[in-house]
Amino acid sequence: MRDLKLAWRNIWRNKRRTIITVASIFFGVILSTLMTSMQEGTYAKMIDNVVRFYSGYLQVHHPDYWETKSIDDLFVPDDSLMQQLSSTKHVQAAIPRLESFALLSYKHNTKGAMVIGVEPEKENQLTQLNHWVKQGTYLTAGGNGILVAVNLAKNLDVTLGDTLALIGQGYHGMSASGLFPVVGILEFPTPAMNNFGAYISLSRAQEFFSAPGRISSLVINVSGYDEVTPVKQSLVQALGQSLSVMTWDEMDPVTKQMIESDKGQGIIMKSILYILIGFGVFSTILMMISERMKELGIMVAVGMKKLRLATIVFYETMLIALVGLAAGFMASIPIIQFFIRNPIPLTGETAKVYEEFGLEPAIYFGSELYIFFNQLWIMLLISLLVSIYPVSKILRINVTKALHG
């Protein structure tokens, strides 16, 4: 304890040097924490866009459906399957859908689009689809209405109350045709979704595609991202080869690759930052030892053990690091909380690039605990590595040379 007090007094003998070193660690912690928070917040938003707006965390399909996307590769969600899903740990909901392509026509305008049959109430559990109805009303179970994405509605030149003619291919070669009044216009915050397609009730979709009781997918909502892999393993083991279970990243590998690529770039940038901070701290410690070499030699000459002296200098290095870490940690919390509440909007070409990838044009931040603590232990590790030099220098000190230095 006495050595710790002595080390604390020593680091403030030269306040300017100590403050400069503490400041380098302080700003290093803030910058690295902000960078990590920005990365994790952006990744979380990307995953949330994929999961919340459409795919869910997992989906159950016919084994051939994802490859063929054929209306013929449907399955019946029998009671045993639904019971298995409800009994699987972490599964919150299983949402049925029947989706296939069809031609949507109004007067002289025709567009091909995805037609998605949903159970209105269950769909809201995942996508909150009714929240994105800009005009009109939401679907009703068993109703004949159709919800159309805003850009698709503009291309077809339809408004509320107009009737769309849908033509497609039904189950096992049956013809699919029907008339659907437009009851609502959807406008999503993600631009790509605004071109996506149209929603009708599941029962009406099964009738339209001549596929009573059949669906193309069961969208599985789980309690959190960390539960995706264990839930998939449980379902694969339970369902065997009869059905296919896919996670969000298997269905959207492009987003997964973007995240992995960006993580690699982030590691490189943070590594450069850590190296610069490490050299800054090391240069300060090097200067401190050089200036005090004669003093340290005298202390050894009058009887202080080298090990105790090395311990004191080690304490000095770690105290400087801890002061900088603590200050950086405390300062980074309100800064990140501010950016979480106020995402940074993007404009110009950058915003267009984000929109092309189906992302909201803004930079989001995350506040998970590991974002803060990862930076702390990395900076602490850097400080430990830096402390090796002064400790080894003192343990190998030559008293004669030190006194005449």
Instruction: Give the model's pLDDT for residue 117.
Output: 94
Instruction: Give the model's pLDDT for residue 355.
Output: 67
Pick the closest to residue 319 from 30, 28, 2, 18 (CA basis): 18
Instruction: Give the model's pLDDT for residue 165.
Output: 95
DSSP state of 54: I
CA dist., res. 38 & res. 119, Å (int): 36
CA dist., res. 263 & res. 259, Å (int): 6
Instruction: Give the model's pLDDT for residue 90.
Output: 87
Instruction: Give the model's pLDDT for residue 169.
Output: 92
Instruction: Examine the pLDDT at 206 and tell me if it is beyond 90.
Output: yes
DSSP state of 179: E
Instruction: Examine the pLDDT at 23 and tell me if it is beyond 70.
Output: yes
Instruction: Name the residue with higher pLDDT: 397 or 334.
Output: 334
Q: What is the 3-state secondary structure (H, E, C) of 23-38?
A: HHHHHHHHHHHHHHHH
Q: Are 235 and 246 in contact (CB under 8 A)?
A: no
CA dist., res. 182 & res. 164, Å (int): 7
Instruction: Give the model's pLDDT for residue 89.
Output: 87
The domain limits of the chain are: 2-50+255-403, 58-223
Percent of the chain, pLDDT > 70? Answer: 98
Tens of pLDDT, residue by residue over 132-191, are 899 999 999 888 999 999 999 999 999 999 999 999 999 988 889 999 999 999 988 777
pTM comes to 0.70
Instruction: Examine the pLDDT at 75 and tell me if it is beyond 90.
Output: yes
Instruction: Name the residue with higher pLDDT: 350 or 59.
Output: 59
CA dist., res. 244 & res. 65, Å (int): 9
Can you give the C-alpha Rg of the chain in angstroms? 31
Structure tokens at 78: 């029998």
Beta partners for residue 181, in sequence order: 163
DSSP string of 241-256, one letter each residue: TSSEEEEHHHH-HHHH
Q: Where residue 405 falls among pLDDT bands split at 50, 70, 90?
A: low
Instruction: Give the model's pLDDT for residue 261.
Output: 81
Tens of pLDDT, residue by residue over 320-372, are 888 988 998 899 999 999 988 888 888 887 777 776 665 677 888 888 888 88
Mean pLDDT of 200-220: 94
Instruction: Give the model's pLDDT for residue 363.
Output: 84
